[in-house]
Amino acid sequence: MSGPVTFFRNIFTPLFLFAAFSPVILSYSTPASAQDIDQKFAEAKGKFLLTALNYIELPAGADKYNICVVGDKQVFISARDFYESNKGRLKPTSLKSIDSGSDGISSCHIVFIGKNYAERDAIMAKISAEKNSVISISDSKNFAAGKGTMELFDDDGKLSFIINLKKAKQPGLKIDSRMIELAYKTI
């Protein structure tokens, strides 16, 4: 299929997917307990990692996105469950959980690093040393102001994000301008 139908599908499918999932991703109800809040926020972060792919261009030669989740099992499980239940509607993706160390990071296009992960600096050093560009995302405070590409945070019951434009515009990284517009803030 080519012509207007292909153009329409290429332009509007990502917008439709984000519109369909954004209420789930960007807002979550405030549950009664702190544990419930943490679980809902982890679910929102896992969904964000997958729906954000609509705004991130796959590197040349890759046939699927490789997302690595480091030091946050809840986010990994949420992303995996969301991917499995929406496989036909999401871009082809491989999800990998990394509990410790930086082995396996070199194959990742996107790395999510949990805020409580003790070896965050070692992971960021490994990412910086790689020749391939990697989008680094964390829910750690001031992550985007430091070496990270994106920082996720709870904005009164909504998942919001900050983008480090210098990191986002590195050679090899292609984040769509529409995602930058959706950011809470850019630095």
Model confidence pLDDT, tens digit, residues 84-122: 999 888 989 999 998 766 677 888 899 999 998 888 888
CATH code of the domain covering residue 73: 3.40.50
Residue matched to tokens 């996105």: 65
Which structural domain, as residue segments, surrounds residue 60? 4-186
CA distance 89 to 87: 5
Instruction: List helix spans (H) across 32-153.
Output: 34-51, 73-85, 120-129
CA distance 69 to 137: 9
> For residue 139, what pLDDT is reported?
95
pLDDT band at 183 (very low <50, low <70, confident <90, very high): very high
Q: What is the pLDDT of residue 24?
A: 44
Residues 70, 114 contacting (CB under 8 angstroms): yes
Segment (H or E) for 97: strand 93-98
Cα-to-chain-centroid distance, residue 87: 16
The length of the chain in residues reads 187
What is the pLDDT at residue 7?
A: 40
Q: Tell me the C-alpha distance between 68 and 108, whole Å.
A: 6
Order of all β-strands in the sheet with 185-186: 93-98, 65-70, 110-113, 135-138, 150-154, 159-163, 185-186
Output the CA–CA distances (angstroms, integers) from residue 80 to 49, 86, 182, in the order listed.
Answer: 10, 10, 24
Asked if 93 contacts 83 with a C-beta cutoff of 8 angstroms, the reply is yes
Number of domains within the chain: 1
pLDDT at 130: 72
Question: The whole model's pTM is what?
Answer: 0.80
Give per-residue pLDDT as tens, 66-84. 999 999 999 999 999 999 9
